[in-house]
Amino acid sequence: VIVHDVNELTEKLFPIVEAMQKHFSAGSGTYYSDAIFFLSVAMHRIMPKEITQIIQVDLDLKYKTNIRDLFDEFDNFPEGAVIGIAREMQPVYRHTFWQYRRENPQTKVGDPPPDGLPGFNSGVLLLNLEAMRQSKLYNQLLEPAMVQKLTEKYHFKGHLGDQDFFTMVGMEHPELFHVLDCTWNRQLCTWWRDHGYSDVFDQYFQCEGEVKIYHGNCNTPIPED
């Protein structure tokens, strides 16, 4: 077991993610403490080189299968992919990208699966640190100028930290991501159903197959066994 000091991690993280915080944080400014919500984005720069793969998960999860089975998903990464992540199961990014969608009526950005690009949910993340270190494209996307360029293109302003960054990058470079099946991150939150999107909600929320991990996001109760 290796214990990492949160303050030390934040100190290393802050210079890397400071530029993106103003685009993807709930606060109006760039807070030093908020840097930890972007840990996954720059994990490859912080962890020792001998650590080549990491699974990062939220606390509000319930496992219905052996977590070791999730590690097998690393073997399914296509060439060029650096991160494994499931789709967002609410129309949150349909909402966030409203201006871009209005200006580009033919876009798949924000549309539901299977053909649309609904964005990602970072509750379950497979980080191939070695691939992240070696990917020239991924590391270019961490540069402040690139973050600024993409946020301007998509008129993007989010508040969900790393999830927003991965979602925005995924609209531009889907090849960097291995999309996990929804059963690996079966989100339960239904907030957007009651906030203007009841007509399309189920297109995002449906998930067929035996659930492997439940995600009780937005404090949603997780089903008992």
Crossing angle between the packed helical segments 162-172 and 144-154, to the nearest 10 degrees: 70
**pLDDT per residue over 187-204, tens digit each?**
999 999 999 999 999 999
In angstroms, rounded to a whole number, what is the distance separating the alpha carbons of residues 86 and 70? 12
Residue 57 backbone dihedrals phi, psi, to 5 degrees: -130, 150
In angstroms, rounded to a whole number, what is the distance separating the alpha carbons of residues 127 and 122? 11
**pLDDT per residue over 156-187, tens digit each?**
999 999 999 999 999 999 999 999 999 999 99
pLDDT at residue number 27: 73
Helices (H) and strands (E) in the chain, counts: 10, 7
Nearest to 78 by CA among 183, 176, 182: 176
**pLDDT per residue over 20-45, tens digit each?**
999 998 875 667 678 999 999 999 99
Dihedral (CA of 67, 175, 142, 106) sign = negative
